[in-house]
Amino acid sequence: MTPTLFAPAALRSYRIFESSDLDETRDLISRVMQPHVLAPSGKDHGYSYMDFVKLGGLGLGAISFGTPMHVDVESIDGYYLLMFCLRGYAEVRTPDAPLIVDRNNGILCAPGQPFNAWLSSDCEQFVLRMDADAFRKASRQADALLSPRICIDSPLLHGWMQQLRALTGSSALLESARSNAQIATHMEGLLIELLTCSLLNAPGAPVKQSSIVPAFVKRAEDFVREHAGEPLLLEDIASAAGVSARTLRERFLIVRGTSPMQFLRAVRMQKAREALLTAGPTAHISDIALACGFFHLGRFSLAYRKQFGELPSETLRERPAR
């Protein structure tokens, strides 16, 4: 029997924007996802829109650009991203090989991983944004999900897809989950557990390995702490650790539950906070951010507020008298 096409009709009631302006499109998507680069392949930008609803730590959305588009996210920030196409297709670059994403094939990106994709002009993405803490809470084996390719039409995912179809196809159910935190938490946990259990039961699924921390992971952590203020790439950290970038990323996810680049970001953020709390009267936030490896002040301020609940300027203003 051919599976019913996935059509999230109820999601269409949660349109957050329509635009033909590239900068506006980038800004509005960034507000619900994260900062990223958009580069249209055609002469004109086209007509873009995004439908998006948040249920606790879970975000569900549909995005279309109306023109061939290159989307570049340097590092997935604090969430797991699952993406497949409602129509059209995308070619997504992964550490191993490019993946073709369409109705039947999706991609799962973990925190700290890049997302680099070329979308066809008729591509409409369906995105599932799963908060990293919620994902790991619902699935203690999240660190074993290292394979990015997701076979959407796999029989193992039919239960998950039926639940996703029920949620996004019913206006009443989706609105109940959106407006009721308890229902949202339940739906979030159910979808994540259905997804992770299916993936871990799939043929060839990665087997959870020992939690013993290898020496090269410790070398990488020491290198990051010492050079956090420099413009580091994953390859720089892997070279200092003496292993390939892929080996370092995979083992880091297993033993630390995060990626090397996320660890770098956490170290930088903590150094920035310590510097702000101990700064002298003539200190400038921009200088502190640059010294800690943050080269975009606006993004630094947003990330800092998200992590510590206050802006860098508030920390600086309220630091203990010296």
Please answer whether residues 206 and 145 qualify as being in contact, where contact means their C-beta atoms are separated by less than 8 angstroms. Answer: yes
**How many whole angstroms separate alpha carbon 149 and alpha carbon 188?**
21
Do the domains at 9-200 and 215-317 have one common CATH topology?
no
Element (H, E) at 166: helix 158-169
| CA dihedral of residues 110, 115, 121, 123 (deg, nearest 10) | 0
Specify the pairing of strand 69-73 against strand 115-119.
Answer: antiparallel
Beta bridge partners of 82: 108, 128
pLDDT of residue 308: 81
Count of residues making up the chain: 322
Global pTM reads 0.66
Count the neighbouring beta carbons within 10 Å of the beta carbon of residue 99.
Answer: 17
- What CA–CA distances, in Å, run from 92 to 18, 70, 89? 25, 10, 10
Task: Return all residues near 156 (Cβ < 8 A) that are at least 6 apart.
Answer: 198, 199, 201, 202
pLDDT of residue 305: 85
pLDDT tens string, the chain, 322 residues long: the values are: 344 578 999 999 999 999 999 999 999 999 999 888 898 876 667 799 999 999 988 999 999 998 899 999 988 888 999 999 999 889 998 766 678 898 888 999 888 888 899 998 889 999 999 988 878 776 655 555 556 788 888 888 889 999 999 999 999 999 999 999 999 999 998 999 888 887 766 554 444 444 578 899 999 999 999 999 999 999 999 999 999 998 898 888 777 767 888 889 888 988 898 888 888 888 899 999 999 999 888 888 888 888 788 899 988 887 655 4
pLDDT of residue 141: 57
* CATH code of the domain occupying 9-200: 2.60.120.10
Domain boundaries of the chain, sorted by first residue = 9-200, 215-317
Structure tokens at 91: 């070619």
pLDDT of residue 204: 47
* CATH code of the domain occupying 215-317: 1.10.10.60
pLDDT of residue 147: 67
Structure tokens at 280: 């002298």
DSSP 259-272: -HHHHHHHHHHHHH
